[in-house]
Amino acid sequence: MSTRGRDLLSYHVALSAFESAARCGSFHAAALQLNMDQATVSYQIKKLEKHLNTPLLYRRRDSVILTDGGQKLFKSLERGFASIELGLAEIARDPHGNP
C-alpha cells in the first residue's frame, strides 16, 4: 500500500465522524449514530481539519454548517461510500467471486 493510502486509512474514523456530522447536522446526532461520545466526534473532525489545513464546519450551539471545503469533502465521501456499498453488495451476492 502506498504512503498516501496508509495516510488516508489513518483518517478513516475522522472521515466517518465528519460524514456523519455533516449528514446529521450536529455532533450530538453523529455521536449517537457512531456510538461514540460528542468530544470524540469533535476531536476527530478537528484532527481532519488540521490535516487538511482548512475548516470543514461552522460550529453553532446545537448544529453544524458545512464550509465550502466541507461541502466538497462531503460530496466526495458520499460518492466514495456509495461506491463501497455497491462493491460490498456485489461481493455479498457472489461471495466466491464467480463471474
Q: Which three cell numbers stand for residue 30?
A: 453523529
pLDDT tens, residue by residue, 28-75: 999 999 999 999 999 999 999 999 999 999 999 999 999 999 999 999
CATH number at residue 80: 1.10.10.10
pTM summary value: 0.84
Domain of residue 20 covers 3-93
Kindly report the number of other CB atoms within 10 A of residue 78's CB atom: 13
pLDDT over 80 at 77, yes or no: yes
pLDDT over 70 at 16, yes or no: yes
> How many domains does the chain divide into?
1
- Asked whether residue 98 is domain-assigned, the answer is no
pLDDT over 80 at 8, yes or no: no
Rounded Cα gap, residues 75 and 21, in angstroms: 13
96 vs 45, more confident: 45
